[in-house]
């Protein structure tokens, strides 16, 4: 039974997994946006965000001793990759280590953000070898706000599914423009026709 | 060893297979470009997700 065993093992031993998260963290902080598989992105998120939060707390305290302590806590999580020098877009060294970027950039950037420093976007593209589902995980930019606009409820996950799933009942509130609602009508016919033959399904 | 007593008739075989169909993927339609999109996924055509958020760059052509 896997009762009370949260998290994915990702088919790795504990040390392998830790190394994976450290490597992914370095890549994410270096590039701000990386593409991995959905499960890796989902597991990486708490790992990275906790590190950023520790750094934030250390910097926000204004106390050099507490900042040093936070620095050591982050090093304990990152291990050797903490000292890796990051490269810029062209592959040139930036003269900034992973640890430095976390404390000097990210901790400041996210000073007023109560958690949730990353975003995961699921892609359609499947991996070539194992057809694994892929996703983008990215660090939010300074002052980013929720993308959910007038068309949808403020809930983060809702907006996309909301407008489309029931085009049959044309009175869906979030149809933002006549063009959009008109265009949803043609797919509706297809969708209805497509969903017709699944009268009873016992297997997928 | 257990062994079939009777040959499976075509009708029986067909009845057994009557459930062997694939279901079409549940898709929605991109509010931006109207292409079919999997739920909770970035539009593969225009790269939009959640309304106005152009996330990955466009892949033109192809
Ligand atoms: Zn689109």
Edge-to-edge strand order for the sheet containing A118-126? A33-37, A133-139, A118-126
Question: Mind listing the pLDDT tens digit for each residue in A106-122?
Answer: 999 999 999 999 999 99
Res A159: pLDDT: 42
Question: Mind listing the pLDDT tens digit for each residue in A61-79?
Answer: 999 999 999 999 999 999 9
Res B18: pLDDT: 96
Interface test with B, best of A31, A35, A38, A121 (most B CBs within 10 A): A121
pLDDT average, residue stretch A156-173: 43
pTM for the whole structure:
0.72
| Bridge partners of residue B48, in order along the sequence | B54
pLDDT above 70: percentage of residues in chain A = 72
- Complete DSSP assignment for A26-79: HHHHHHSEEEEEHHHHHHHHHHHHHHHHHHHHHHHH--HHHHHHHHHHHHHHHG
Torsion of CA B38, B41, B44, B47, to 10 degrees: 140
> Contact at 8 Å (CB) between A45 and A140?
no
Considering CB atoms only, which of A124, A183, A194 is closest to B41? Answer: A124
Residues of chain B with pLDDT under 70: 52, 54-62
Q: Is a pLDDT exceeding 90 seen at residue A198?
A: no
CA distance B49 to chain A (A): 7
Considering CB atoms only, which of B21, B36, B40 is closest to A160? Answer: B40
Whether B21 has its CB under 8 Å from any CB of chain A: the answer is yes
Question: Mind listing the pLDDT tens digit for each residue in A82-92?
Answer: 999 999 888 89
> Contact at 8 Å (CB) between A137 and A44?
yes
The model's confidence at residue A32, banded by pLDDT at 50, 70 and 90, is: very high
Whether A32 has its CB under 8 Å from any CB of chain B: the answer is no
Res B8: pLDDT: 96
Mean pLDDT, all residues of chain B: 86
Interface test with B, best of A123, A141, A148, A166 (most B CBs within 10 A): A123
């Amino acid at each position: 039974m896997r009762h009370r065993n949260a998290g994915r093992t990702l088919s790795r031993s504990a040390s392998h997994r830790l190394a994976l998260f450290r490597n992914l963290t370095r890549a994410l902080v270096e590039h701000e946006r990386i593409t991995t598989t959905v499960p890796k992105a989902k597991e990486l998120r708490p790992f990275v965000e906790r590190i950023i939060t520790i750094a934030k707390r250390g910097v926000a305290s204004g106390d050099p001793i507490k900042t040093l302590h936070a620095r050591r806590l982050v090093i304990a999580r990152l291990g050797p990759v903490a000292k890796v020098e990051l490269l810029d877009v062209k592959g040139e060294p930036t003269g900034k280590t992973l640890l430095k970027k976390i404390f000097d950039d990210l901790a400041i950037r996210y000073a007023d953000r109560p958690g949730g420093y990353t975003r995961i976007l699921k892609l359609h593209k499947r991996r070539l070898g194992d057809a694994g589902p892929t996703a983008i995980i990215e660090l939010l930019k300074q002052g980013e706000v929720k993308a959910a606009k007038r068309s949808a409820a403020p809930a983060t996950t809702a907006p996309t599914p909301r407008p489309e799933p029931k085009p049959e009942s044309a009175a869906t509130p979030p149809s933002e423009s006549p063009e959009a609602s008109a265009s949803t009508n043609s797919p509706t016919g297809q969708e209805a026709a497509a969903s017709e033959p699944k009268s009873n399904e016992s297997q997928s | 060893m257990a062994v079939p007593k009777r040959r499976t008739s075509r009708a029986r075989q067909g009845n057994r297979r009557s459930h062997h169909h694939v279901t079409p993927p549940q898709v929605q339609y991109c509010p931006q470009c109207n292409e079919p999109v999997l739920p909770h996924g970035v539009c593969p055509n225009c790269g939009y997700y959640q309304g106005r958020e152009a996330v990955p760059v466009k892949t033109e052509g192809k």
